[in-house]
Amino acid sequence: MLGLLRRFWGWYARPPVMIGQGILLTIGLIAGVVFWGGFHTAMEATNSLAFCTSCHEMRDTVYVEYQQSVHYRNASGVRAICSDCHVPHEWGPKTLRKIQAAGEIWSKVTGKIDTPEKFEARRLELATHVWKTMKDSDSRECRNCHSFDAMDFAHQRPRAREKMEPVATGKYLGDGSTCIDCHKGIAHRLPKVERDD
C-alpha cells in the first residue's frame, strides 16, 4: 500500500510533463467533494418538515391531519416527521425515493396537484401508491422506529395486544402481512371511497 502511495505521489508531483494531469486531478477531486457535499446537503434539506409542508396542498391537508395523530403528539414526546414514514433511511433506497419524489414536485409545478381540491380528488390514488410502496418494502419505514423487541405487550390495549403479539412471535409469518395492512390512516385521514357515501 505504501509503495502504491509513493508511486501515486511521484506521478502527481512529477514536473512539467505530468503537472497538467495533476492539476486536472486536483480540480476533479475538489469538484467531486463539492458535488457530493451539495448533493448530501440537498438530500437532507428535502427531508425536513419545513420542506415537506412548504406547499399549501400539504400544509393545509395532510399536515393538519398529521398534527392530530399519535406520530405528532404523544405521551413519550417522540415525534415522527414526514420523511421518517415516507423516505427510507438507507442511502440507495433513499436516493431512489428522492428521484420518485421529483415526479411529485413536477405534478405540483405543472398544476396536476396544485390545489387542496385536486389533492383531495386524487387522495385515494396517492394513498394507494404509498400503501403499495410500504407493503412492498415490508413496512421498512415503520420498522425504523417500531421494533417488536421493544414492545411492551402488557401495556397495550387488549385489542392491540391480541393482534400484535402473534405477529411479533411469528405466528403470522409468511402470510404477507405487514404493518400497513392494519395501520392505514394512522397519520392521515383515509381516502373517501364510493361505498362511504
- Binding site members for heme: 52, 55, 58, 85-86, 104, 142, 145-146, 179, 182-183, 188
| Binding-site annotation: residue ranges | 52, 55, 58, 82, 85-86, 104, 142, 145-146, 179, 182-183, 188
Quote the Cα angle for 173-145-186, to 5°: 80
Residue 193 DSSP one-character state: -
| Binding-site annotation: residue ranges for a menaquinol | 82
Q: Which element (helix H / strand E) includes 190?
A: none
Rounded Cα–Cα distance for residues 82 and 77 (Å): 16
Residue for cell digits 415522527?
A: 80
Rounded Cα–Cα distance for residues 40 and 35 (Å): 8
Closest CA to 42 of 81, 111, 99: 99
